[in-house]
A and B are shown apart, each in its own frame.
Chain A
Amino acid sequence: MSESTSESATSAPKKGGHGAAAPAHGGHDAHDAHGAHGHGGPHLAHHFDTYQQQFDAGKLGIWLFLLTEVLFFSGLFCAYTVYRGMHPEVFVYAHYFLNTTMGAINTCVLLISSLTAAWAVRNAQLAQRKLLVLNILITIACACTFMVVKFFEYEHKFHDGLLPGPAFHPTEQVWELETFKHKHPEAAEYAEKLTKAAEAKDAAKAAPAPAAAGAAVAETGVFERPTEEQLEPLIKAGVLGPTAEDQTRPSKPRNAHVFFGIYFFMTGLHGIHVLGGIGVFIWLLLRANKGEFGPKYFGPIDYAALYWHLVDLIWIYLFPLLYLIH
């Protein structure tokens, strides 16, 4: 028995094959671990024989967990794809309401935090305690920044009535938005004209003075043939055309609120994962501060960093899918 167990220990790194972990571990750890405690070492659970075995088990476990996370989100990505395929105009319309700058800032913040999380793993492996604590702190700070930016984004949406379901009452028309005007100035102007014309028509109906109303419409110049630049962005966004809610004037596409349902669901679920990550990193910060991690025992940092990379990665997909629609 003695022979076979030690043999399995020395062959374990070869079998495990996790590149980053291999140099930090090694056969010689066995003797340190043996001396440290009645059983293996302070952080070695009773049912494992070696640190290597414990680390490998954790690593496989976290990869499997990440797989379940990918599949968990995949349902939402799938729903997004199906709905966007069926109703592209809803997505084009709604994306003008999102703040791309804030989204881009958050993307950068998360990328930086992923770097510091990966760096923290290296710090733990090399027993650089101060750097480890610092890198975890930066990671937490970035995650909190992300949530603060997210909070302001959500607050704006709430304020502007951009809520899912029956609560959807946007206070602004899409062509009144700076994002729209900046991209399609002619189309915005044209939509403005059409709206005025429709309003004039309504007023005319209310107070029958046909000649005056006709003059008002003529003044706005609606009867001129619209150019491609004026028309296309509006049709694409469902403001005009068969998908529009109101056929008599520029409006929003039917079921525009579905986008915000998907937006809040996806980013909300992602936000919950960020909050979870903050919790985990705070816990690791306390443990790192006590000096619990070192070349033999750095698994938890490694697993948390992997999780964090996935949270980052999901955002990398969410950002273009929700904010950068054309």
Chain B
Amino acid sequence: MASPSATADVVAPRSSGSDNYLTHDKGVLSWIFTLDHKRIGVMYLCSVLTAFALGGFFALLVRTELLTPGHTIMDHDTYNQMFTLHGAIMVFLVIIPGIPAALGNIIMPLQLGAKDVAFPRMNLASYHLWIVGALFMLTSLAINAVDTGWTFYTPYSTTTSTAVVPAAFGAFILGFSSIFTGLNFIVTMHKMRPPGMTWFRLPLFCWALYSTALIQVLATPVIGITLLMMIIERTVHIGIFDPTLGGDPVLFQHFFWFYSHPAVYIMIVPAFGVIGEIIPVFSRKRIFGYKFIAISSLAIAFLGFLVWGHHMFVSGQSVLAGTIFSAITFLIAIPTAIKVFNWITTMYKGVIHLDTPMLYALAFLWVFTIGGLTGVFLAVMSVDVHLHDTYFVVAHFHYVMMGGAITAFMGGLHYWWPKFTGKMYPEKAGRFGAALVFIGLNVTFFPQFILGSRGMPRRYYNYLPEFQSLHVLSTLGAYTLGIGFILTAIYLFKSLKTGKTSPANPWGGATLEWQCSSPPPYYNFHKAPVVSAGPYDGYENLMYDEAIGGYIPRKSSTST
């Protein structure tokens, strides 16, 4: 205890220049059973990206089927299975763990200045549970893929002949994986901060992960028990959700959305964190309204628990309840707008560098604002009665989930890619990929707003001929998206072998992760950092060094 020299003794000799977390140990087992947060993060990243490819593949199949009314490439039962798998994989396997467990696992302890997360074993268990959960989902795919939609609504989920139980049990296990990550992050940020790292010196990414972790810990157990009840209902017929036995199927919806609405913020709040990192760095300007952005994440996390009923305006819940849920939903627009305004104000009079991460961040601002504001439309009860279960809803949440969460994930992936791998990705290809993704997602989902407002119901296999042109446009957009992501995958893979070696600080970031080498040493820091400034202070103390292609401290400056 209180032995700084001991700390230094342990850290210093094992992490010399060439030794980093990727090369520290060799062999597959040294990865599978690693306790290092960075390696666990990398494994999460690979797994999440694989699941993303699979979920994307199902999305393309669904969009291809919708090119024509009626049969195009698959029958209606297969279609139901495809969109269910797309939704379940993207939600449970990709977006929920995407930013926190993959990017956050690697970056958060580095930004904090900690040697690891508080519970490394639990961190590894979280990843192993993810794998087990994913296997259960694939089991359902192999037996007879679930066709309930990712929401598992009763009574259909308790009566359909498809393999609901493995898929639901997979989601149950993935819930524990998510809880473990969240619990770990909360304790890490409370107890592992080095001297000088006060709460208001935490990078905004950490604030966002902290808020997310609170939701993960408080909401996920409820979906766990709900899915368990649904499984028992299906197998033993205990009758809680079954109206023929005196139960209430709407109770399932309440339970489900008590988790799944907060889960929407599990998906989007970390994205806010990534954007909060990228925008100041690529504007070379201190973030505007740091405290407001930090606290608004907590406000969103809190309010997110009180709005689940806005998914159920047409389920027969009372008008009074609907009004309250509707009003609280409007409130969420406030902290969200605070964030967007502060990011834009940060850019104002900044020196904006349009590198790939910044392109993704700008795309995020554009797309997320559309997604967020259409959410306010849907929160109005009278409008929702018209738009409920139409493509308008599909377009809205894809603008938020795909346009918000995935765009930010891609931005973060490019931003931290040099830190993860020690290699630079090709900038031109990156910008081209970002442009393709941005165009693709708008072409895919904007027509769906029009489709929905004209009455095209979601999840339908067949549709009226007048909707076809917009469906074709949407499908073409989906193909563009697919090409954009394939291109991105190709150049990122290639950069692992042929990429330029990355300097410690390629972008001129001031947060702590840029102070350690790329890739970081096994124990993160040669010397435990002492923090004396905020995360976005001191851009003026950094200067670009042509020789290494990155930023180094100005020689005249002695601080930080």
A79, CB-defined interface residue at 8 Å? yes
B371, CB-defined interface residue at 8 Å? no
Question: Which residues of A lie under 8 Å from residue B28 when comparing CB positions?
Answer: none
Question: Which residues of A lie under 8 Å from residue B248 when comparing CB positions?
Answer: 82, 86
Question: Which residues of A lie under 8 Å from residue B190 when comparing CB positions?
Answer: 57, 60
Given contacts A9-B1, A34-B3, A165-B238, contact A261 B246 (CB under 8 A): no
Contact B6 A50 (CB under 8 A): no
Contacting residue for A261 out of B238, B251, B530, CB 8 A: B238
Contact A166 B225 (CB under 8 A): no
A152, CB-defined interface residue at 8 Å? no
Residues 445-487 of chain B, each 1 if its beta carbon lies under 8 Å from chain A, else 0: 0000000000000000000000000000000000000000000
Question: Which residues of B lie under 8 Å from residue A68 when comparing CB positions?
Answer: 179, 183, 217-218, 220-221
Residue of B nearest to A4 (CB): B195
Question: Which residues of A lie under 8 Å from residue B183 when comparing CB positions?
Answer: 61, 64-65, 68
Contacting residue for A72 out of B116, B122, B187, B221, CB 8 A: B221
Contacting residue for B225 out of A65, A76, A90, A255, CB 8 A: A76
Residues 200-228 of chain B, each 1 if its beta carbon lies under 8 Å from chain A, else 0: 00000000000000000111111011100
Question: Which residues of B lie under 8 Å from residue A52 when comparing CB positions?
Answer: 1
Question: Which residues of B lie under 8 Å from residue A83 when comparing CB positions?
Answer: 239-240, 246-247
Complex alpha-carbon distance, A166 and B530, angstroms: 65
Contacting residue for B116 out of A33, A47, A90, A261, CB 8 A: A47
A273, CB-defined interface residue at 8 Å? no
Contact B236 A164 (CB under 8 A): yes
Contact B10 A75 (CB under 8 A): no
Which residues of B (1-33) have their CB < 8 Å from a CB of A? Answer: 1-7, 9-10
A289, CB-defined interface residue at 8 Å? no
Contact A78 B238 (CB under 8 A): no
Contact B191 A255 (CB under 8 A): no
B115, CB-defined interface residue at 8 Å? yes
Contact B179 A34 (CB under 8 A): no
A residues neighboring B (CB under 8 Å): 1-2, 4-10, 27, 29-30, 33-34, 38-40, 45-47, 49-53, 56-57, 60-61, 64-65, 67-69, 71-76, 78-79, 82-83, 86-87, 90, 164-166, 254-255, 257-258, 261-262, 265
B residues neighboring A (CB under 8 Å): 1-7, 9-10, 114-120, 122, 179, 183-184, 186-188, 190-192, 195-196, 217-222, 224-226, 229, 232, 236-240, 245-248, 251, 255, 523, 527-528, 530
Please, could you name 25 A-B residue pairs with CB atoms under 8 Å apart, sorted by A?
A: A4-B196, A5-B2, A5-B3, A5-B4, A5-B7, A29-B1, A34-B2, A38-B6, A46-B10, A49-B2, A49-B7, A57-B192, A60-B187, A61-B184, A64-B217, A68-B221, A71-B221, A72-B221, A75-B229, A76-B229, A86-B246, A255-B239, A261-B232, A261-B237, A265-B238
